[in-house]
Structure 1
């Protein structure tokens, strides 16, 4: 596999695109401190790992997947702001809303590769640090596997083994001009990284703000889901559930979104006033509502018995009729004064839904229904478990439940893509906003996200996605 990386953000670091000035291409890059100088001790390596976590901008998937899909609508207050053009499916490869993950994730991978180059040689002060060094290396490998899996979700034109994947990099080299690996080749590296991480991270490590052993299983389950490795998805989802499989109910579930309950979280990213608030994707600090929950989504909930309805959706009756009253409530803040929420990257309910889908695809309808009914029973008071007469009916039920359970968490658009389903909005959800379209067919150009134009400009040999 390719071991070089055309560093997309080199242009930002050097002040201009590398290709714009021929004489600069021949200069030795000096934008970073050398690994030999920066990472010498265990504490240096630990700080490098913390830096890797700090570079993860996972909430970008929340925003892009939501505005691209059918779980939201153009807010009434957004009509004069023209914010979020990806919602209209008229973007090109220079649109940051749909390409930002490329630079962000490859920045993370580059940090990982730099740290891994020094990891084995760092000095330790005692046996505890020596043992911890292996865990730190495991965390780095796990995050690299996760970052590559995210890049596949965003930028693979289809989720098939022979399709184009992304650039697999295991060594930092700013001036490289690599080509994209296939989806299968990318998955091979993802699986190798996660397998090594699982062996290196001890079961005793339980920090939810870092990758733990159960979190590795959760990453492997999601990656297998996208690769249509149904046996693997079932195995790893079951492992994650066995390690931490209790589904929250009632108030305990609602408190997950206020950060006072972490019982369903495998891995989360700390967010505070220095890191930004997810809620401002939907409603800004002036209370202008850019995007509202779609009527299509709201209609799926039992508004009386489903705890998710009020946890996710707010009808603000205090605003005048000229303003938008429906608001996303899922990230309203920890309390009235702290308006920030930690980012839940992997949760128990997702693992149940992956388990349900994998069993459905493996024609074990009973086991699939059991996993799906477990989520519904935890969320809906008085729910009666349902049986499914066919594989197709069960998968439809799972897709509906993913729509409801994982709303605004960065899954819906990618879920539709991996099932090769069009995005279809309700008529009520296109009534506000200039030229908001109803349907994005699977053949539409913007059904596939583009490789950033700046990356293609800096590396003309990289393969762009179809249509761009």
Structure 2
């Protein structure tokens, strides 16, 4: 990793000096900023931070040497969680960007795969940039200020975010393993030469570092300037609410229930639950009131056919979607009460127009839901008109329109949402249920459930077992498509079985080995392989360290 970290730090600076705000560009040409100038003062350090913000969604070859145009940061990593866990179901065969390989578990299980390598180095690139800022602020030569504390708080939050992502993918789940001895990932603090590679720290040591970083972030934010407003661009800046939200996620994943509940309550306080119109608007902008944190994707840096919506939104004008509309697990959709407006975004009775559909029921005459061709054609026209797509887009029963492009049928960029207040209500509910606080868990569920479902009644879930089953259902429904399926299944120690309980709607032929997977506690294939490139480059990690 020595060479890669050296190169990544130069790229962090490169992103920073090409990501200047307009007012800075008016006075200082981007090519006139040297590496030393990038850390000279608060204004320039903010540019480094802006580089980290944009690095979250840029194509990876712009972030570090050896990157690849097929992976555009969190555009790929966010939906990957639901692609791997079988929540986001492919209706037909399509392999753009390796998305089918991910679904079939033919990527993260291979040490030489692009996904394993790029995710590893993308997250370490974030750590390298965070180290750069943290070490500069703490070197004692800068005058402390509220702005400097804001930069420090964001840097610590970024580092915690990256380590949590790494340990949850490349380490065994905290609740199903032995964190004191299970290998995690290397901890690195360097921001200048000589760089030293490190062996894998334990899962526990990584969690300790995450918690320390989040505590440091919160302390810094408490004496910092506040986030500049609540618009889409402002929400790409991390703040104290993001730090508390990550604290809630981290604590939930390790079974620290009280910390999870307390942090979740604190994180969500300024982000009201969305109403029906907002929830159905497409999840395409940070402007939504629930959004605590997300990437504001600017038009000048669009990723075109590498975007989140290209991989999973049925209104994006790309072949991955047109040829392979994404559907939801029909067992989940069928369980949604008719009084819950979230059911409306899953089109149970959509006509199956794809003659290459994996279920073999594509095209009129094969679709058992339609016996009249005129009715079939009218249903196609109606859906196309409502959602702004054309006959170039295939349709399929149980397809979703939860995520919709702001400009449907286009390839325009949209924001990538990372954290919402609904998640925080669900974290509080799960934590309290696990502590045996039945009334507390019900109270946490009520605001969310009663907004979404006009007949909602949490009192019927009056035991820990009933509560946990209901919370799992609510997470799968509320957060569907937002990438939580993979880590949820690891925390709950649940496998994948597309055949059980009437079937999910996935094709066994298309899904292959991923059609059924044992639960994570007995199946190490849930753990991402350490990239072979890291094993080859790091003298402290050898073949025996492979997952």
Superposition TM-score, scaled by structure 1 size: 0.84
Corresponding position: 1:192 with 2:209: no
1:96 maps to what in 2? Answer: 114
Equivalent in 507, 512, 517 of residue 440 of structure 1: 517
Q: Which moved more, 1:133-142 or 1:165-174?
A: 165-174
Map Cα deviations across residues 302-330 of structure 1 (whole Å, 9 max, x no partner).
3x433323446697659455465234433
Equivalent in 190, 212, 229 of residue 171 of structure 1: 190
What SS does structure 2 have at the residue aligned with 1:76?
coil
Distance 1:465 1:444, change over 3 A: farther
Task: For 1:47 and 1:261, locate their aligned partners in 2 and report how far apart those are by CA, in whole Å.
Answer: 23
The answer to whether the 8 Å contact 2:74/2:308 transfers is no
Map Cα deviations across residues 88-138 of structure 1 (whole Å, 9 max, x no partner).
2244112223553211110111111122232357998xx9x9431221111
Equivalent in 206, 209, 215 of residue 236 of structure 2: 209
Query: What is the root-mean-square deviation in Å for CA atoms of aligned residues?
Result: 3.2
1:309 maps to what in 2? Answer: 343
What SS does structure 1 have at the residue aligned with 2:153?
helix
Equivalent in 395, 400, 403 of residue 325 of structure 1: 395
**Structure 1 residue 437 displacement after superposition:** 4.0
2:310 maps to what in 1? Answer: 280
Corresponding position: 1:144 with 2:159: yes
**Structure 1 residue 436 displacement after superposition:** 5.3
The answer to whether the 8 Å contact 2:94/2:324 transfers is yes
Task: For 1:35 and 1:82, locate their aligned partners in 2 and report how far apart those are by CA, in whole Å.
Answer: 36
Q: Which moved more, 1:144-153 or 1:267-276?
A: 267-276
Map Cα deviations across residues 211-259 of structure 1 (whole Å, 9 max, x no partner).
1122211111111111211111011012123x22521121122236142
1:154 maps to what in 2? Answer: 169
Distance 1:257 1:311, change over 3 A: farther
The answer to whether the 8 Å contact 1:78/1:289 transfers is yes
Q: Which moved more, 1:218-227 or 1:114-123?
A: 114-123
**Structure 1 residue 390 displacement after superposition:** 2.2
Task: For 1:48 and 1:445, locate their aligned partners in 2 and report how far apart those are by CA, in whole Å.
Answer: 38
1:71 maps to what in 2? Answer: 87
| Gapped regions of structure 2 (runs ≥ 5) | 11-32, 57-72, 358-393
The answer to whether the 8 Å contact 1:278/1:340 transfers is no
Equivalent in 281, 293, 298 of residue 267 of structure 1: 293
The answer to whether the 8 Å contact 2:149/2:225 transfers is no
Task: For 1:181 and 1:397, locate their aligned partners in 2 and report how far apart those are by CA, in whole Å.
Answer: 36
Map Cα deviations across residues 68-103 of structure 1 (whole Å, 9 max, x no partner).
112132322528997421222244112223553211
Q: Which has the higher contact order (CA 8 A, sep 6+)?
A: 1
Task: For 1:290 and 1:436, locate their aligned partners in 2 and report how far apart those are by CA, in whole Å.
Answer: 21
Alignment of structure 1 residues 68-467 onto 2, 5 Å? 68-78=84-94, 83-90=99-106, 91-119=109-137, 130-160=145-175, 161-162=179-180, 163-172=182-191, 175-201=195-221, 202=224, 204-205=226-227, 206=229, 207-241=234-268, 243-255=269-281, 257-259=283-285, 261-273=287-299, 274-276=301-303, 277-282=307-312, 285-286=318-319, 287-289=322-324, 291-302=326-337, 304-311=338-345, 317=351, 319=353, 321-322=355-356, 324-326=394-396, 327-336=399-408, 339-426=412-499, 427=503, 428-431=505-508, 433=510, 435=512, 437-442=514-519, 443-462=522-541
Corresponding position: 1:48 with 2:36: no
The answer to whether the 8 Å contact 2:450/2:456 transfers is yes
The answer to whether the 8 Å contact 1:157/1:466 transfers is no
Task: For 2:3 and 2:74, locate their aligned partners in 1 and report how far apart those are by CA, in whole Å.
Answer: 19
**Structure 1 residue 424 displacement after superposition:** 1.8
Q: Which moved more, 1:244-253 or 1:360-369?
A: 244-253
The answer to whether the 8 Å contact 1:234/1:359 transfers is yes
The answer to whether the 8 Å contact 1:245/1:348 transfers is yes
The answer to whether the 8 Å contact 1:148/1:190 transfers is yes
Distance 1:245 1:134, change over 3 A: closer
